[in-house]
């Protein structure tokens, strides 16, 4: 290849700073690419592009570059050859990295710089803390619980008074009904009196026959 024409740069865009060129860079692949389909497609693409220059003024350079591309394709598609090449390439890259790192200057502190401490905030400049507002607490010690029980006591008294009245009425009705039933069954005369007025009214309402001593006919009254 002539010095005037650089096929790596003119055709593949690889500058002098990236020399020597590894096989991955030659096929425009990422370092240590492992997918075989990606490797094969990249090699075929590069070789098809370089073949377009075979009939031109740089046919010799095109053929030489095609041979390099074919060699890179064979190496990276063979597992054993690829493993051996990857190991050599890692060693070469690590050596280049060591050469590119400048040696430390004697007496120079190579430790990592310590970040500056944040400026301390004085107590005077700090804003005052807001006052703590406590909720009102009801004083239970002075609270008179007897006031709250008075309505309940009144209600209880009313209930007991009503129950007593109802019991008295029920008891009175039971007595009246018992007397009415007794008189109706036994046929005992019911003399008229203010006390028996209620019983006589109940007998009349129920249409129960009873004996009235005023209506009894005696021999003296018959004469």
What are the tokens at 109?
């502190």
Distances (CA, A) of 74 to 12, 14, 117: 19, 21, 58
Task: Compare 77 and 96 and report the one with higher pLDDT.
Answer: 77
Distance between CA atoms of residues 33 and 25, nearest Å:
11
Q: What is the pTM of this model?
A: 0.45
Q: Produce one character per residue of 195-208: b if its CB has 16 or more CB atoms within 10 Å, e if not.
A: eeeebbebbeeeee
Q: Is the peptide bond before 174 cis (omega within 30 degrees of 0)?
A: no
Q: 35-39, 182-186, 194-198, 208-212 — which is least confidently predicted?
A: 208-212
pLDDT of residue 147: 57
Distance between CA atoms of residues 203 and 176, nearest Å:
10
Q: Where in the chain is the domain with CATH 1.10.287?
A: 7-100
Distance between CA atoms of residues 144 and 151, nearest Å:
14
The model's pLDDT over 191-202, given as tens digits with 9 standing for 90+, comes to 656 656 776 777
Quote the percentage of the chain above a pLDDT of 70: 57
Q: 1.25.40, 3.40.50, 1.10.3470, 1.10.287: which CATH number matches 7-100?
A: 1.10.287
User: Helix 146-186 crosses helix 197-205 at what angle (to 10 degrees)?
Assistant: 70
């Amino acid at each position: 290849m002539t010095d005037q024409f650089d096929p790596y740069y003119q055709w593949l865009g690889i500058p002098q700073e990236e020399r020597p060129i590894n096989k991955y860079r030659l096929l425009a692949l990422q370092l240590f690419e492992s997918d075989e389909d990606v490797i094969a497609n990249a090699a075929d693409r590069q070789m098809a592009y370089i073949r377009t220059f075979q009939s031109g003024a740089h046919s010799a350079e095109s053929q030489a570059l095609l041979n390099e591309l074919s060699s890179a394709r064979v190496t990276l598609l063979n597992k054993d050859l690829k493993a051996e090449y990857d190991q050599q390439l890692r060693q070469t890259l690590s050596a280049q990295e060591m050469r590119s790192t400048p040696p430390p200057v004697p007496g120079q502190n190579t430790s990592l710089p310590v970040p500056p401490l944040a400026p301390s905030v004085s107590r005077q400049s700090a804003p005052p803390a807001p006052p703590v507002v406590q909720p009102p607490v009801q004083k239970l010690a002075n609270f008179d619980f007897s006031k709250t029980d008075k309505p309940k006591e009144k209600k209880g008294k009313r209930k007991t008074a009503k129950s007593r009245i109802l019991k008295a009425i029920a008891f009175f009705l039971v007595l009246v009904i018992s007397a009415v039933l007794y008189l109706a069954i036994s046929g005992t005369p019911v003399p008229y009196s203010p006390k028996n007025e209620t019983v006589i009214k109940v007998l009349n309402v129920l249409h129960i026959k009873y004996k009235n001593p005023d209506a009894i006919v005696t021999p003296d009254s018959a004469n």
